[in-house]
Amino acid sequence: MQKRIMHDFSPSPRDRLLMRTRLGQHLSGRPFLALTLLLFSAMAALPVGLFLMFALVTIVISAVGFVFFEVFLLLVGGLTLLSVLSGIALFSLLVSVIVSTLLFTIPNLLKHYYPHHLMMRREGVNGCFNELYLIQDLIMPA
Protein backbone atom coordinates (compact mmCIF):
# COMPACT_ATOMS: atom_id res chain seq x y z
CA MET A 1 0.00 0.00 0.00
CA GLN A 2 2.80 2.35 0.88
CA LYS A 3 4.48 1.63 -2.46
CA ARG A 4 1.29 2.52 -4.30
CA ILE A 5 1.00 5.86 -2.47
CA MET A 6 4.63 6.65 -3.20
CA HIS A 7 4.07 5.66 -6.83
CA ASP A 8 1.10 8.04 -7.06
CA PHE A 9 3.17 10.91 -5.70
CA SER A 10 6.25 10.22 -7.76
CA PRO A 11 6.71 12.67 -10.62
CA SER A 12 5.69 11.57 -14.09
CA PRO A 13 7.89 12.28 -17.12
CA ARG A 14 5.81 15.36 -17.92
CA ASP A 15 6.28 16.65 -14.37
CA ARG A 16 10.02 16.10 -14.59
CA LEU A 17 10.11 17.94 -17.90
CA LEU A 18 8.21 20.88 -16.35
CA MET A 19 10.52 20.97 -13.34
CA ARG A 20 13.57 21.32 -15.62
CA THR A 21 12.29 24.63 -17.05
CA ARG A 22 13.11 27.98 -15.45
CA LEU A 23 9.49 28.44 -14.36
CA GLY A 24 9.40 25.00 -12.75
CA GLN A 25 12.64 25.63 -10.87
CA HIS A 26 11.38 29.04 -9.75
CA LEU A 27 8.09 27.59 -8.47
CA SER A 28 9.74 24.63 -6.74
CA GLY A 29 11.77 27.12 -4.68
CA ARG A 30 8.63 29.10 -3.77
CA PRO A 31 5.82 26.73 -2.79
CA PHE A 32 3.50 29.54 -1.63
CA LEU A 33 3.68 31.19 -5.06
CA ALA A 34 3.08 27.80 -6.73
CA LEU A 35 0.01 27.20 -4.53
CA THR A 36 -1.27 30.71 -5.28
CA LEU A 37 -0.80 30.18 -9.01
CA LEU A 38 -2.50 26.77 -8.83
CA LEU A 39 -5.51 28.17 -6.91
CA PHE A 40 -5.79 31.17 -9.23
CA SER A 41 -5.73 28.90 -12.29
CA ALA A 42 -8.32 26.55 -10.80
CA MET A 43 -10.63 29.34 -9.65
CA ALA A 44 -10.26 31.38 -12.87
CA ALA A 45 -11.20 28.45 -15.08
CA LEU A 46 -14.94 28.74 -14.34
CA PRO A 47 -15.29 32.51 -15.02
CA VAL A 48 -13.11 32.30 -18.13
CA GLY A 49 -15.11 29.31 -19.36
CA LEU A 50 -18.40 31.12 -18.69
CA PHE A 51 -17.13 34.20 -20.52
CA LEU A 52 -16.04 32.13 -23.50
CA MET A 53 -19.43 30.37 -23.55
CA PHE A 54 -21.16 33.78 -23.38
CA ALA A 55 -19.00 35.05 -26.26
CA LEU A 56 -19.69 31.95 -28.32
CA VAL A 57 -23.44 32.09 -27.68
CA THR A 58 -23.46 35.81 -28.51
CA ILE A 59 -21.66 35.20 -31.79
CA VAL A 60 -24.02 32.37 -32.73
CA ILE A 61 -27.10 34.42 -31.83
CA SER A 62 -25.73 37.37 -33.79
CA ALA A 63 -25.15 35.20 -36.84
CA VAL A 64 -28.60 33.62 -36.58
CA GLY A 65 -30.18 37.02 -36.00
CA PHE A 66 -28.34 38.41 -39.03
CA VAL A 67 -29.60 35.54 -41.16
CA PHE A 68 -33.17 36.06 -39.92
CA PHE A 69 -32.87 39.80 -40.55
CA GLU A 70 -31.58 39.17 -44.08
CA VAL A 71 -34.43 36.73 -44.71
CA PHE A 72 -36.89 39.32 -43.40
CA LEU A 73 -35.43 41.99 -45.69
CA LEU A 74 -35.58 39.64 -48.68
CA LEU A 75 -39.18 38.79 -47.81
CA VAL A 76 -40.14 42.47 -47.61
CA GLY A 77 -38.30 43.21 -50.86
CA GLY A 78 -39.92 40.26 -52.59
CA LEU A 79 -43.39 41.26 -51.45
CA THR A 80 -42.74 44.84 -52.57
CA LEU A 81 -41.58 43.62 -55.98
CA LEU A 82 -44.64 41.36 -56.22
CA SER A 83 -46.93 44.28 -55.38
CA VAL A 84 -45.29 46.57 -57.94
CA LEU A 85 -45.41 43.91 -60.66
CA SER A 86 -49.05 43.15 -59.85
CA GLY A 87 -49.86 46.85 -60.09
CA ILE A 88 -48.07 47.11 -63.44
CA ALA A 89 -49.96 44.03 -64.71
CA LEU A 90 -53.32 45.46 -63.63
CA PHE A 91 -52.47 48.83 -65.16
CA SER A 92 -51.45 47.15 -68.43
CA LEU A 93 -54.67 45.14 -68.46
CA LEU A 94 -56.75 48.26 -67.81
CA VAL A 95 -55.02 50.24 -70.56
CA SER A 96 -55.39 47.30 -72.94
CA VAL A 97 -59.13 47.06 -72.23
CA ILE A 98 -59.58 50.81 -72.64
CA VAL A 99 -57.63 50.96 -75.92
CA SER A 100 -59.43 47.90 -77.30
CA THR A 101 -62.78 49.35 -76.34
CA LEU A 102 -61.96 52.68 -77.95
CA LEU A 103 -60.64 50.96 -81.08
CA PHE A 104 -64.00 49.28 -81.69
CA THR A 105 -66.31 51.93 -80.23
CA ILE A 106 -65.13 55.12 -81.92
CA PRO A 107 -65.43 53.87 -85.54
CA ASN A 108 -68.91 52.49 -84.82
CA LEU A 109 -70.01 55.78 -83.25
CA LEU A 110 -68.65 57.72 -86.19
CA LYS A 111 -70.34 55.34 -88.61
CA HIS A 112 -73.73 55.80 -86.94
CA TYR A 113 -73.62 59.54 -86.21
CA TYR A 114 -71.54 60.86 -89.13
CA PRO A 115 -71.99 58.43 -92.02
CA HIS A 116 -71.59 61.14 -94.71
CA HIS A 117 -68.10 62.05 -93.45
CA LEU A 118 -66.94 58.47 -93.69
CA MET A 119 -68.06 57.93 -97.28
CA MET A 120 -65.67 58.37 -100.14
CA ARG A 121 -65.99 57.56 -103.79
CA ARG A 122 -63.81 55.04 -105.44
CA GLU A 123 -62.68 55.80 -108.92
CA GLY A 124 -64.00 53.37 -111.42
CA VAL A 125 -62.69 52.21 -114.79
CA ASN A 126 -63.22 55.32 -116.94
CA GLY A 127 -62.40 57.86 -114.26
CA CYS A 128 -65.94 57.73 -112.92
CA PHE A 129 -66.73 57.53 -109.23
CA ASN A 130 -69.16 54.67 -109.15
CA GLU A 131 -68.94 53.09 -105.65
CA LEU A 132 -69.15 54.46 -102.13
CA TYR A 133 -67.02 52.87 -99.44
CA LEU A 134 -66.78 53.48 -95.80
CA ILE A 135 -63.34 54.47 -94.63
CA GLN A 136 -63.69 51.93 -91.84
CA ASP A 137 -64.19 49.18 -94.42
CA LEU A 138 -60.97 50.22 -96.12
CA ILE A 139 -59.06 50.29 -92.84
CA MET A 140 -60.60 47.19 -91.23
CA PRO A 141 -62.18 44.99 -93.92
CA ALA A 142 -64.91 42.68 -92.76
How do residues 64-89 score in pLDDT, each as one tens digit? 999 999 999 999 999 999 999 999 99
Neighbours of 134 (CB within 10 A): 15
pTM (two decimals):
0.46
> What's the pLDDT tens digit per position in 97-133?
999 999 988 888 888 887 766 555 555 555 555 455 5
Supply the pLDDT for residue 35. 86
Task: Look at residue 2 in the predicted model and tell me its pLDDT.
Answer: 59
The predicted structure's pLDDT at residue 24:
80
